[in-house]
Amino acid sequence: MRAKALPFLIFCLSIVQCFSHAAESNGASEKPETVSFETAGGLRHSFPKGFVFGTATSAYQVEGMAEKDGRGPSIWDEFVKIPGIVANNATGEVAVDQYHHYKEDVDIMKMLNFDAYRFSISWSRIFPDGTGKVNWLGVAYYNRLIDYMIEKGITPYANLYHYDLPLALEKKYKGLLSYQEKQKGRIGILLDFVYYEPLTSSKADNLAAQRARDFHIGCISPCDCSHI
């Protein structure tokens, strides 16, 4: 089961921990409470100047519109359709529909005081067949997203490849494998693993560390952590 889970872990949405604290009320007056959000749990000032706080997603994880507006299939579209591979036969066809809700998502990043958003570009949304013909509707979507991020002061970090190879290239070249013979390369695997230690020996910190470890290696998919 773990081998199946691994690609999903890579798709984890990572959001830096945030917390809010209410502004102090002014004496006994009944001013409405204002809430401010501070990235990194209020410790931002202790990071070096220029340190970038951001959010990150992968295209297939969030965009939706997987079979619409001219997008071609990626290896994920085929993979998730294998019976039993994903709980409840879930797919990324709709996901959180960032394709339509990107403004709300960027607004939330702004509200949380993030500096950057690292999103990925779905290769098969731009090149439905992997190469050749360009899907301009897809290009227009990324233009809208990037323009809105710039308007809101969120720096775009575009990831050009987040493990979602166009299916056409997988079929034609067996993905990256067909280069192996020509390049005399070796195929390896990178295990995306983070280990967490409890801050103190308290029960609460131990449980928190266990929960964080489970999120990375203990559950079937990050969308199915409710049992932890």
Ligand X SMILES: *[C@@H]1O[C@H](CO)[C@@H](O)[C@H](O)[C@H]1NC(C)=O
Residue 201 makes contact with ligand X by CB under 6 A: no
For the bound state, the minimum distance from the C-beta of residue 79 to ligand X, rounded and expressed in Å, comes to 15
Give which of 200, 227, 226, 198 is closest to 212, Cα–Cα: 198
Cα separation, 60 vs 91, whole angstroms? 9
For residue 126, give both structure tokens. Answer: 């731009």
219 touches 227 (CB < 8 A): yes
When the beta carbons of 38 and 224 are compared against ligand X, the nearer one is 224
CA 125 to centroid of chain Cα atoms: 17
When the beta carbons of 34 and 88 are compared against ligand X, the nearer one is 88
When the beta carbons of 82 and 190 are compared against ligand X, the nearer one is 82
Residue nearest to ligand X (CB): 89
For the bound state, the minimum distance from the C-beta of residue 227 to ligand X, rounded and expressed in Å, comes to 17
When the beta carbons of 88 and 183 are compared against ligand X, the nearer one is 88
For the bound state, the minimum distance from the C-beta of residue 81 to ligand X, rounded and expressed in Å, comes to 9
Cα separation, 215 vs 204, whole angstroms? 16
For the bound state, the minimum distance from the C-beta of residue 92 to ligand X, rounded and expressed in Å, comes to 16
Residue that has been written with the tokens 């928190």 in this structure: 208
Residues near 147 by Cβ (< 8 Å), separated by ≥ 6?
Answer: none
For the bound state, the minimum distance from the C-beta of residue 90 to ligand X, rounded and expressed in Å, comes to 9
Give which of 41, 57, 38 is closest to 222, Cα–Cα: 57
For the bound state, the minimum distance from the C-beta of residue 89 to ligand X, rounded and expressed in Å, comes to 4
When the beta carbons of 86 and 168 are compared against ligand X, the nearer one is 86
Cα separation, 173 vs 129, whole angstroms? 13
Q: How many of the chain's residues bind ligand X (CB under 6 A)?
A: 3
Interaction with ligand X in 63-102: which residues (CB under 6 A)? 83, 88-89
When the beta carbons of 26 and 88 are compared against ligand X, the nearer one is 88
**Measured CA distances, 75 to 18, 59, 84, 138, 170 (Å):** 34, 13, 17, 18, 7
Positive or negative CA dihedral for 225, 107, 90, 160?
negative
By CB under 6 A, name the binding residues for ligand X. Answer: 83, 88-89
